[in-house]
Structure 1
């Protein structure tokens, strides 16, 4: 079995396959980027992490606890949604590099063979795949595509990516300015905060090591008109917020040294599985970050796809089709929930909000695929 990509979905698939006794090659090209955006992991991921046998790795590796979400969504006052009292307890505000590495290490310890490189070609040869990985050919009976929203492997074998929008996140990491916010007793600051804006919405959450992730979310074609492309314009939009600016104590903050423009759109691959292959994580179903379900969905699809491949190898010829049907149904359900969410937050007749609440497909009115890059001040 060959798994292309060692994010949460790929590592979950590799772990599931290795636990079932499969020979697994986990292809992953180490990126040397100096900065990586952190993310939150919902409490509903706990049973998935436990099933993979990695829950202790997460709870013991220094991630911040996440107690819930505060939101100013279509209104000026803040509402709270807390995990306390729920069946799974708190979630985590992740050191994402550490989290991904711990899952990858667990997959290798379970028996997966890590191969440093990237897939450059895929050819079907009877019941096998001949895969070129950075100049080396690997032969495998099954492929798992965990390459993210571009679904590089799935597209090579005939699937297509169906994009619903071209949402982007313009992100920065800021140092914390309030010393008291580093205290463990300050539970309010162990929450994420969402605030709607005319161009879209803002998100912030504390990261480990005394930093905050701050993200402006909008459509790709709206970045330039809203001024978010430059550090100074991004900061100006941030200081115009009420709740996010107050939490960050943003008055007097200088422009961020670095912005990253990241794809955040909703899409799915159709189909998400076929004869001898399956897609997981964002390669199967990528959802708007307002749902805060990206990593949880990656873990769930990784486990499900690994189980479906195992079942197929044992003679259940409908297992991969059932997996594809399930991911399509889950994605369709998300699209309905997303519409309800944005209708609840709308208070502006601006392009971002009308695209999501007037019943037209968002993709029909947004531009082409965004240019994703790292921005630094001139």
Structure 2
């Protein structure tokens, strides 16, 4: 069997994996992606806060990003803590207003940067075997491939499945069975609304925002076992349900129904405290480490931030430098702790729905961090 040596092997070519590969331009990097080709079509997850500016700058991509088809994020209008709409101006954010991004264009920018800086990407990598040898290097062999890939560092960037971490024996907590039903609606040319509109109801929460490509996202987050979930996956049903709320009806009056997509949307958390038990040189980033609830609008930012943290750890020799590995782990733990505390407070906001199952379940801790 042929052996190919790398500095870093990354499983997953989503935003986190691509950002890390782009950040490691001076190293020999292999990206392994389970999909057969780069993702195409529209995808939800369009919010990027202003704090990402410094991360894009470190990636050397800020100028290219600012020249892309992204919109500066406008104000938010939320019916959340009470039935009265609350306006929050995005300019009050000390890091700047942030952006409503073209998600596919954003990921293509990261893909181009990773490959132009020397990363090798292999698609269709669905089944593999992984082990750690006596020489303290990781060995990964793809099923049906005669090549062994060897590296001192291996990174799980496989998304909310955390497939590599789970294979290495780490616990992965997925207690929140929330799903997101969403649609990309064509909007009339007269729709110049730039606000993000949020509405809490008894069974979940909605949001809608206009994109730069002439579409409007409409999304409803509810329990996977909600009795109306299947019915709401009919385009007309979801749109009509949303129009019951004046804040949403105001921007949905002239749109036509469109295909409904459904995806998991709840919090998931890796056992970060025991990250080092997987073995020296193992890191997890993006959704593989912490999957953020969409209400936080932090998922994409976390992908970039955790990739930056991983690059710092790798450049400090985390596979043989315990301090670098510990610093990475402590940073992830701090992020997770802050996020979980803030998430609970957010879901405690709509007190008028406190007895409803969706809200009652989420005022309890969704994930408990294991004690160190």
Fold agreement, TM-score > 0.5: yes
After TM superposition, the structure 1 = structure 2 runs for residues 1-378 of structure 1, keeping only pairs within 5 Å, are 1-18=8-25, 21-28=26-33, 29=35, 30-31=37-38, 34-121=41-128, 122-126=130-134, 127-133=136-142, 135-136=144-145, 137=147, 138-177=149-188, 179-182=189-192, 189-222=193-226, 224=228, 227-249=231-253, 253-256=255-258, 258-271=259-272, 273-274=275-276, 275-313=280-318, 315-348=320-353, 349-357=355-363, 359=364, 361-362=365-366
SS in 2 for 1:144: strand
Deviation at 1:114, TM superposition (A): 2.2
Report how many residues are paired: 350
Maintained 8 Å contact 1:167/1:265: yes
Deviation at 1:32, TM superposition (A): 5.3
Measured at CA, do residues 260 and 92 of structure 1 come closer, stay the same or move farther in structure 2, by a change above 3 Å?
Answer: same
Deviation at 1:309, TM superposition (A): 2.2
Measured at CA, do residues 191 and 64 of structure 1 come closer, stay the same or move farther in structure 2, by a change above 3 Å?
Answer: same
Name the CA distance, whole Å, in 2 between partners of 1:87 and 1:114.
Answer: 37
Maintained 8 Å contact 2:48/2:99: yes
Maintained 8 Å contact 1:232/1:255: yes
Gaps of 5+ in 1: 183-188, 365-378
SS in 2 for 1:84: helix
Name the CA distance, whole Å, in 1 between partners of 2:113 and 2:75.
Answer: 28
Deviates more, 1:122-131 or 1:310-319: 310-319
SS in 2 for 1:43: coil
Deviation at 1:117, TM superposition (A): 2.9
Deviation at 1:208, TM superposition (A): 1.9
Name the CA distance, whole Å, in 2 between partners of 1:133 and 1:41.
Answer: 34
Name the CA distance, whole Å, in 2 between partners of 1:86 and 1:236.
Answer: 34
Measured at CA, do residues 354 and 133 of structure 1 come closer, stay the same or move farther in structure 2, by a change above 3 Å?
Answer: same
SS in 2 for 1:235: helix
Maintained 8 Å contact 1:167/1:264: yes
Q: CA RMSD in A?
A: 2.3
Gaps of 5+ in 2: 1-7
Name the CA distance, whole Å, in 1 between partners of 2:141 and 2:75.
Answer: 44
TM-score, normalised to structure 2, is 0.87
Measured at CA, do residues 78 and 226 of structure 1 come closer, stay the same or move farther in structure 2, by a change above 3 Å?
Answer: farther
Name the CA distance, whole Å, in 1 between partners of 2:117 and 2:39.
Answer: 25
Maintained 8 Å contact 2:160/2:268: yes
Maintained 8 Å contact 1:119/1:131: no
Maintained 8 Å contact 1:4/1:119: no
**CA-to-partner distance for each residue in 1:145-166, whole Å, 9 max, x for gaps?**
1111110111111212112411
Maintained 8 Å contact 2:20/2:307: yes
Deviation at 1:315, TM superposition (A): 4.2
